[in-house]
Amino acid sequence: GAVVSQHPSRVICKSGTSVKIECRSLDFQATTMFWYRQFPKQSLMLMATSNEGSKATYEQGVEKDKFLINHASLTLSTLTVTSAHPEDSSFYICSASFLNLQETQYFGPGTRLLVL
């Protein structure tokens, strides 16, 4: 149980375009979903926390107009990187937690974004 999927697994795009990444909880209803960014050989940096039906809470230094998060249902959250630039190239990982075990986060497989 507690499977989280992410799509796409990798994407290459041109500078200035927007990219949408989906995060789904497959076998549970996620009360909270988290979006992280991980640069090579570095730790996971939390970008934002999202709860279904409400606006995401962004970490300091993360531009909410650039990284749009939508949490439309208890099983789906999306992250849209708008007007992507090469410095946005990174590994984006989502995680989800559910009501009865809110502390534990289950991670998706990640999306590798390369902006040319």
Partner 1 sequence: GENVEQHPSTLSVQEGDSAVIKCTYSDSASNYFPWYKQELGKRPQLIIDIRSNVGEKKDQRIAVTLNKTAKHFSLHITETQPEDSAVYFCAAKGMDTDKLIFGTGTRLQVFP
Of the candidates 58, 97, 113, 115, which one interacts with partner 1 according to CB under 8 A?
97
Q: Which of 26, 47, 28 is nearest to 93 (CA)?
A: 47
Q: 10 Å Cβ neighbour count for 65?
A: 8
Residue 105 near partner 1 by CB under 8 A: yes
Residue 107 near partner 1 by CB under 8 A: yes
Residue 13 near partner 1 by CB under 8 A: no
Q: Indicate the residue among 17 and 64 with the shorter CB distance to partner 1.
A: 64
Complete edge-to-edge strand list for the sheet that includes strand 76-81: 4-7, 19-25, 76-81, 67-73
What x-and-dash track marks residues 49-88 binding partner 1 by CB under 8 A? Answer: x---------------------------------------
Q: How far is the CB of 65 from partner 1 (least distance, A)?
A: 22
Strand 10-13 and strand 111-115: pairing?
Answer: parallel
Of the candidates 32, 75, 78, 90, which one interacts with partner 1 according to CB under 8 A?
32
Query: Applying CB under 8 A, which residues contact partner 1?
Result: 32, 34, 42-46, 49, 93, 97, 102-110, 112
